[in-house]
Amino acid sequence: MNLTNFRFETDADGIALATWDMPGRSMNVISMEVMDELEKIVDAVVADPAIKGCVIASGKDNFSAGADLTMLQSLGGTFERMKRESGEEAAMQALFGGSRRLSLVFRKLETCGKPFAAAVTGLCLGGAFELALACHHRVVSDDEKTRVGLPEIKVGLFPGGGGTQRVARLMQTGDALQMLFKGEQIRPAMAKGMGLVHDVAPKAEIVERAKAWIKGGGSAVAPWDVPKFKAPSGKVYSPAGMMIWPPANAIYRRETHDNYPAAKAILASVYEGLQLPMDLALRVESRYFANILRTTEAAAMIRTLFISMGELNKGARRPKDVPQTAIRKVGVVGAGFMGAGVAYVTANAGMEVVLVDQSAEAAEKGKAYAHTLVTNQINRGRAKTADRDALLARIATSADYADLKDCDLVIEAVFEDPKVKAEVIARVEAVIREDAIFASNTSTLPITGLAKASARPEQFVGIHFFSPVEKMMLVEIIKGGATGDRAIATALDYVRAIRKTPIVVNDSRGFFANRCVTAYLLEGHKMLLEGVPPAMIENVARMAGMPVGPLSLNDEVALDLGLKIARAAEAQLGPEAVDQRQKKLLTDLVEGHGRLGRKNRKGFYDYPEGAPKRLWPGLSEFQPERLDPDSLDVTELKHRFLVVQALEAARTVGEGVVTDPREADVGSILGFGFAPFTGGALSYIDFMGAKRFVEIARGLEARHGARFAVPQNLLDMAERGGRFYDTPAQAA
């Protein structure tokens, strides 16, 4: 048997072992070739009377992360081409056949008449876990890095290789839906408790355990192929079923606002599939899957959250001629909330950290934050006491700048004041090595201006973390006017080491993310002052796809910080640089009512101890006119939230702040949660079409003012029918 991606051998007991080990790849992925070879293996096992069964294992550290999404993406392109050449019906038949290939191969394995077992270690996700689910027995390693799951929903897809049907027949329906909707990676012990796997064993034993199951007479019939099989939750149309499906539909609407077709397809596939025999149920799943592959949401999310993010994580924007940087020791100046978070993620990545503050006590307080974070993980069973001890041992605290002398990289995270930062820069540069890189974790202050206090501006770079550092996956690397390639490369190497996603932007006040976030917050404030009910502002923002409403977000980042930023901008750029009504609103809230946000339990919301937050009733005094919610156009409100952010993103492109649309899209989703189903702020424009977007923006400008004015670069794009992703590489 001629195989490239698998090794196939049979032992003395007549048990075959198919070892998945794709050449030239660090990770196995499901491709058309892999599907073909897997089918050959099934045929070979069935045809040889001497073979009792087969174990499928991996020759790599991970089993597989699933299907090659570029393959699925290409199916959509093939559909569009065939639609033009042969008509929609022929194109749809071809898409259905191509998208269903994996499901048919897995079903062939499942019904071949000989037992198959999966021996899983490392990651086993998506289509790879669907392969394991199609096997009759599943043994997973108890290794700390082993995870199983079906995360397709996170890139706008859903499990189309039988996952929705097999999971729904292994678990209670409500639990199955929750698993499919969340797309989380599941640890071995939990997977066994959920009934998804049969055995958990040491890594060195999983293949032998799987073989032993076959040797012991393991059944080659899946539970759902046994006559009179009953799903765990019983029939859909039953008293028990009616306790599941109406609430499930309501939860789906509440959580997605109908923005995610794949989530709706999951609900429909499970609902319909549980009423059918397995083969018909798989056909239903495949029809929904083919339809989802045609959606703009899937195309946008695959492009941004899989392809573009993967390219950025691999260093797509790293200067090519700079050697890889070995960062062993990092200094963090400022042990407040941000600095403490930076120290934690750095130490967690295995680097030594020197955490410096004005006093030893303040530095120790910052280190205690790391202790708290790891302790919480220990309490949840995700870390051990030894892990905490090792991490804390990597964080040294000090009040002496001289202790930074051996650092490869120093990151300052002090107060957002140019004078304070200038003092820190001078003190740090007086003691660090000549080749050390200095980074400022500033959220709004231009790096070029801060670098004027540096004696070596070419080694000065911005590294903007988002709060809370340990949770937020995006980091902005800001290139100042004099920042050199080595500083950029070092910053990117560091961000990659701490396992976060970097974007590189050129210098500007607010850079990229905060400019867009500021526009979002301003729109919420504008609506409040217009008389839109506060609850409607928050709910419509979530309906538009934002993770939280603008008033809630403002509370999280602190109202007094927003006021300080507005005043600083006004002092440096003049009164035209800020919205005066917004500044007055913040001034009244902060100074008139002492409402600082979540940090003092009083902002746009009240935060009562032990109870859910609730909108502050006093907001009514800021609304001289209160609009009737029934008179408001919800679609227009949603457009206001998304369009104002997309316009700001387009301006950053026109100004040269953002030079790669991948970074704007990935940054907008990871940095401030811009409606993920759109693919990001620029993809929102591209998939809608620049001409249509300009029409909407001009209508909003006529009704709501100049903040909706369309920048010239976008007008030109609409005129020529262009897109931000105009090059083949970017459009892929």
Asked whether the beta carbons of 645 and 519 are under 8 A apart, the reply is: yes
CA distances from 133 to 34, 191, 221, 377 (A): 17, 12, 13, 30
Asked whether the beta carbons of 158 and 167 are under 8 A apart, the reply is: no
Length reported for the chain: 732
Asked whether the beta carbons of 306 and 67 are under 8 A apart, the reply is: no
Which of 127, 78, 112, 128 has the alpha carbon at shortest distance from 98?
78
Please identify which residue in the block is written with the tokens 């929750």. Answer: 178
- By three-state DSSP, how is residue 68 classified? coil
- By three-state DSSP, how is residue 167 classified? helix
Helix/strand/coil (H, E, C) string of 42-67?
HHHHHHCCCCCEEEEEECCCCCECCE
CB count within 10 Å of CB 434 equals 7
* Backbone phi and psi for residue 327, each to the nearest 5 degrees, phi listed first: -95, 110
Peptide bond before residue 246 is cis, with ω within 30 degrees of 0: no
Asked whether the beta carbons of 357 and 363 are under 8 A apart, the reply is: yes
Please identify which residue in the block is written with the tokens 């400019």. Answer: 515
Q: Which one from 137, 464, 525, 639 is the annotated catalytic residue?
A: 464
Please identify which residue in the block is written with the tokens 């797509």. Answer: 316
> Any catalytic annotation for residue 464?
yes
Which of 544, 714, 731 has the alpha carbon at shortest distance from 635?
544
Please identify which residue in the block is written with the tokens 């590489």. Answer: 729
Q: For helices 550-557 and 534-544, what crossing angle results, to 10°?
A: 100
Q: Could you tell me the sign of the dihedral formed by the alpha carbons of 304, 307, 312, 317, in that order?
A: negative
**Amino acid type, 273:** G
What is the spatial distance between Cα 199 and Cα 229, in angstroms, rounded to a whole number?
Answer: 22
Burial class (CB in 10 A: 0-12, 13-18, 19+), 627: middle
Please identify which residue in the block is written with the tokens 């940095």. Answer: 671
Burial 54-72 (b: 16+ CB within 10 A, else e): bbbbbebebbbbbbbbebb
DSSP assignment, residue 4? Answer: S
Asked whether the beta carbons of 676 and 683 are under 8 A apart, the reply is: no
**Amino acid type, 336:** G
* Backbone phi and psi for residue 592, each to the nearest 5 degrees, phi listed first: -85, -30
Cα angle 508-510-515, degrees, rounded to a multiple of 5: 110
Q: Could you tell me the sign of the dihedral formed by the alpha carbons of 410, 414, 417, 420, in that order?
A: negative
Cβ contacts of 583-590, under 8 Å, gap ≥ 24:
585/525, 585/528, 585/529, 585/622, 586/559, 586/562, 587/563, 588/622, 589/559, 590/559, 590/560, 590/563
What is the spatial distance between Cα 110 and Cα 437, in angstroms, rounded to a whole number?
Answer: 56
Which tokens hold the place of 667?
């940054």
Helix/strand/coil (H, E, C) string of 406-421?
CCCEEEECCCCCHHHH
Which of 113, 85, 81, 114 has the alpha carbon at shortest distance from 98?
81
The Cβ-side half-sphere exposure at 302, using a 13 Å CA radius, reads 24
> Which residues belong to the active site?
464
